[in-house]
Amino acid sequence: MKLAAFVSGLALVACALDLENGLMKAPPMGWLAWERFRCNTDCKTDPDNCISEKLFVDMIDRLADDGWKELGYVYVNIDDCWMAKKRDTSGKLIPDPERFPSGIKALADYAHSRGLKLGIYGDMGNYTCCGYPGTTLDRVEQDALTFAEWGVDMLKLDGCYSSEDEQAQGYPKMAMALNATGRPIAYSCSWPAYQGGLPPKVNYTLLANICNLWRNYGDIQDSWRSVLDIVDWFSANQDVLQPVAGPGHWNDPDMLIIGNFGLSDEQSRSQMALWTVLAAPLFMSTDLRTLSRSSREILQNRLMIKINQDPLGLQGRRVLRVQKSKSHIEVFLRPLSHSASALVFLSRRTDMPYRYTTSLSKLNFSASAVYEAQDVYSGGIISGLKAGENFTVIVNPSGVVMWYLYPTITLM
Ligand code: GLA
158 flagged as catalytic: yes
List, for residues 356-375, the tens digit of each pLDDT value: 999 999 999 999 999 999 99
Spell out the domains of the chain, with CATH numbers in brackets. 29-309 (3.20.20.70), 317-410 (2.60.40.1180)
75 in Cβ contact with 28 (< 8 Å): yes
What length is written for the chain?
Answer: 412
What is the reported pLDDT for 370? Answer: 97
- Check 219, 229, 232, 375 and give the catalytic one: 219
List, for residues 254-274, the tens digit of each pLDDT value: 999 999 999 999 999 999 999
Tell if the pTM clears 0.85, that is, is over it.
yes
Q: How far is the CA of 334 from the centre of ligand 1 (A)?
A: 29
What is the rounded CA–CA span in Å between residue 399 and residue 227? 12
- Check 158, 252, 254, 310 and give the catalytic one: 158
Q: How far is the CA of 139 from the centre of ligand 1 (A)?
A: 20
Residues with CB under 6 A from ligand 1: 34, 79-80, 128-130, 158, 190, 219
Q: How far is the CA of 25 from the centre of ligand 1 (A)?
A: 25
Which mean pLDDT values do the consecutive 10-residue runs of the chain (412 residues) have? 38 52 96 98 98 99 98 99 98 98 98 99 98 98 98 98 98 98 98 98 98 98 98 98 98 99 98 99 99 98 98 98 86 98 98 98 96 98 97 98 96 74
